[in-house]
Structure 1
Amino acid sequence: MLRPRVPGAYAPGSTPLHRLDPRVKLMMLLVATVATFAAPAPLGLLMMTVGLAAALVASRTSPATVLMGLRPAAVVLALSVASNALVLVGQPGFSPDGLVRGALVVCRIALVVGFALSFSSTTPPPAIADGLAALMAPLRRVGVPVGAIAMSASVALRFIPLTVEEVDRIRCAQRARGALLDEGGPLRRLRGWGQVLVPLVVGLFRRADELASAMTDRCYTGEQTALLGPLARRELVVLIGAVAWAVAAALL
């Protein structure tokens, strides 16, 4: 059985973004996220869109993957646009300015999702944990459990494809037993999907308990030191260029 495709799941490769240091990619993602919400329309957003296109090409990520990542929130985004476009207080009617405002917000969210998918599809979870631990290392001086935070992020990212795989396995098993998951009205479908969600939650808790037991047996606390050396000159140049691009987009 083929595994379902998870948007943003790590895909091994040798693209320029795959070879980039995880610390640089984390800082670039943070800078791109801030610049996306700070960039004025339309020139700033156009510049951020060009940056996203470059990131997708450098990571060989399909634009369809970005659309798949937005699909779970499509209803919420559509309601956000509609709520800005329709005026219900005072003089009810249609607001073109509100429609433009809502569309710009959706555009910014789509850009951030695209940057995040480009990052996660080219960085394995252990490298993300190492990068987080390295960047947050100074916080250890004030008592912040940096290793535990990085480990939690790594485990959460690893559980995303496992959850999707578990949902697909349970759904196929329930259908083989005659469960009608996609037939009937909304209430009937919700009751049918209860046959999937209950064993899913039980299975995920079982996996989490097994993982916790294995980490306890190995005395793993997440505070192990990441073996990341100094950044290469090429990576520093890439980081400086990304920061300059983001600042330029925010100041247009």
Structure 2
Amino acid sequence: MNNVILGRYIPGDSFIHRLDPRSKLLALLVYLVIIFWANNLITNVILSLFTLFAILLSGIGFKVFLNGLKPMVGIILFTTLFQMFFVRGGKVLFHWGIIEISDYSLTQAALIFARFVLILSFSTLVTLTTTPLSLADAVESLLKPLKPLKVPVHEIGLILSLSLRFVPTLMDDTTRIMNAQRARGVDFGEGNLIQKIKATVPLLIPLFASSFKRADALATAMESRGYQGGDGRTKYRILSWKAPDTLVIISLLGLGILLFFLKKH
């Protein structure tokens, strides 16, 4: 659980750290769109090099990103193997029962694997270099045009901020509860799948209980301090869009155009 880095912020003064959080969120949205244009070897290599360059600019070691991917290995492998064994089409290389491996299924499995790793790496880069409060401010700022439509912009930003803030706390609580259960003789890795699922029940109940207790305490604290969001509330953190932010968005748009023309039609 300590490897989960979603919601964690690593302080720094790199080029990526200094970017406006709004540009990082917009860059992430553009990245999520153009990654689906990377459907062959050349486009995936170009996108991978771009992602590695962005990680290098952040000043955060590659080991941190590798550790962050470890908790997602199961989901990545399951999705990749599903694509490999059950996607039909192309020249059949192996067939046994309902399992069929073809050159097309291998290609699709490789694409899915690459997309998972790249999306997780880029989204992790955004969260590691941006504080949760800055991300919430960025979301609120980007959604501001929807205010006339009665969209609760401030509340959405607040929910995002609290969610990201308490992800590491929940992970720490999970680790603490697991250690306490192990001390009482619970083995979370023993037995078959059903037994492993049953072993998580002593973990989930206290985790939910502590989460609701913390949420109630937070609500009471905000209410006792007279918290009111929305109009009329001043901000301590002022967002400032600068030339490097524009450069990042233009670079990603240029990358998207390149991938679009190089993708396999």
String of CA shifts for 1:137-174, please: whole Å, max 9, x gaps.
Answer: 11111111111111111111111101110011111222
**C-alpha displacement of 1:229:** 4.3
CA RMSD of aligned residues (A): 2.5
Shift in CA distance, 81/229, structure 1 to aligned 2, threshold 3 Å: closer
TM-score (norm 2): 0.84
- Contact in 1 for aligned 2:88/2:102 (Cα 8 Å): no
- Contact in 2 for aligned 1:137/1:146 (Cα 8 Å): yes
Q: Which moved more, 1:67-76 or 1:95-104?
A: 67-76
Q: Which moved more, 1:58-67 or 1:108-117?
A: 58-67
CA distance in structure 1 between the partners assigned to 2:87 and 2:160 by the alignment? 42
Structure 2 residue corresponding to 1:140, chosen from 147, 165, 168 = 147
**C-alpha displacement of 1:108:** 1.2
**C-alpha displacement of 1:184:** 4.0
CA distance in structure 1 between the partners assigned to 2:244 and 2:192 by the alignment? 57
Q: Which 5+ residue runs of structure 2 have no aligned equivalent?
A: none
> Which residue identity lines up with residue 178 of structure 1 in the other structure?
G
Structure 1 residue corresponding to 2:2, chosen from 1, 4, 23 = 4
Shift in CA distance, 106/180, structure 1 to aligned 2, threshold 3 Å: closer
SS at match of 1:74: helix
- Contact in 2 for aligned 1:39/1:251 (Cα 8 Å): no
Query: Percent sequence identity over matched residues?
Result: 31
CA distance in structure 2 between the partners assigned to 1:165 and 1:155 by the alignment? 16
- Contact in 2 for aligned 1:24/1:239 (Cα 8 Å): yes
> Which residue identity lines up with residue 21 of structure 1 in the other structure?
D
Taking the TM superposition and a 5 Å limit, the aligned residue runs for 1:1-252 are: 4-8=2-6, 9-86=8-85, 92=95, 93-223=100-230, 224=233, 226=235, 227-252=237-262
Q: Which 5+ residue runs of structure 1 have no aligned equivalent?
A: none
**C-alpha displacement of 1:212:** 1.6
CA distance in structure 2 between the partners assigned to 1:88 and 1:116 by the alignment? 28
Q: Which moved more, 1:147-156 or 1:190-199?
A: 190-199
Shift in CA distance, 83/233, structure 1 to aligned 2, threshold 3 Å: closer
Q: Which moved more, 1:184-193 or 1:206-215?
A: 184-193
Shift in CA distance, 145/109, structure 1 to aligned 2, threshold 3 Å: same
